[in-house]
Amino acid sequence: MTPAVDPRAAESLLAFWAEAGVDACFDEAPVDRTRLPPPAPRQATLKAVASVQAPVASGDIAAAVAEARRLAAAADSLEALGEAIAAFEGCGLRTQGARQAVFARGNPTAPILAIGEGPGAEEDARGQPFMGEAGRLLDRMFAAAGLTDRVFITNTVFWRPPGNRTPTPEEQAVCAPFVERTLALLRPKAVLLIGAAAAKSVLQTDDGILKLRGQWREWRLAEGDISAPALATLHPAFLLRQPLRKRQAWSDMLALSARLEGES
């Protein structure tokens, strides 16, 4: 008799592997990928193709990125950037159930720029990032490290992905000009990348968060000779599921605080 599986334990384990960067799994039995299946009848093939949503064309993504870059460049303040994001229609997430654009919260003259993944249900309702249970944990960590009111918080995408799924690289790429403009306007002394999705998007890497966290990297924009030291850390939502990892995240917070004091 197969033993019962605790759903909470299974969810916690899957979340752990996802944060660690595992994005593929293997079957118990090998599959010969060199053998092609027999061709399906043409009518069945057409029905299958019709039932699948066509992917976004690369040209559409390029046009959306260009429009985002134009709007971002025209914003001469963080307030104006928030207005530009709210007016931007090039991100598909906008029309997938999101209530509003969620740009940022915090001190607009802060020495730290914190970047998360994307808004969830509570953030979508309230219009600010990190407002749920994970956000409250993040705020407590900032306070314990003496960083309250020294952080400006945003995300890699500004509309809630349906089902709180991870934003796709294409969705992040479309929103990236606004994230980069945030860096250019704020000119922080340090950047904190919260979670795997944010770290991979900003640093343009496929490394998992457990490999990236705790290491200082340079985030340099392609234009304007603008850069900042960036530190990846574990997402507070992950810490709520894996409390034993809080020690690592706390170490990252102390490193961030020490870096800030060293730059003073």
| pTM (predicted TM-score) | 0.80
Kindly report which listed range (39-48, 150-159, 215-224) carries the lowest average pLDDT score.
Answer: 39-48
Residue 56 · residue 173 · CB < 8 Å: no
Mean pLDDT of 168-182: 98
Which residues make Cβ contacts (< 8 Å) with residue 221, sequence separation at least 6? 180, 183, 184, 227
Residue 174 · residue 64 · CB < 8 Å: yes
Give the residue from 147, 157, 204 showing the smallest Cα distance to 182. 157
Kindly report which listed range (3-17, 19-33, 144-158, 236-250) carries the lowest average pLDDT score.
Answer: 19-33
Q: Tell me which of 143 and 7 has the higher pLDDT.
A: 143
Cross-strand bridge partners of residue 232: 193
Q: Tell me which of 239 and 22 has the higher pLDDT.
A: 239
Q: Tell me which of 119 and 224 has the higher pLDDT.
A: 119
What is the reported pLDDT for 57? 59
List, in order of start, the domains of the chain with CATH numbers. 58-263 (3.40.470.10)
**For residue 40, pLDDT beyond 60:** no
Compute how many other C-beta atoms are within 10 angstroms of the C-beta atom of residue 141. Answer: 19
Tens of pLDDT, residue by residue over 126-159, are: 999 999 999 999 999 999 999 999 999 999 999 9
Residues 116 and 193: their CA atoms lie apart, in Å, by 6
Mean pLDDT of 46-64: 57
Indicate the length of the chain as a whole number: 264
Give the residue from 108, 111, 104, 107 showing the smallest Cα distance to 257. 111
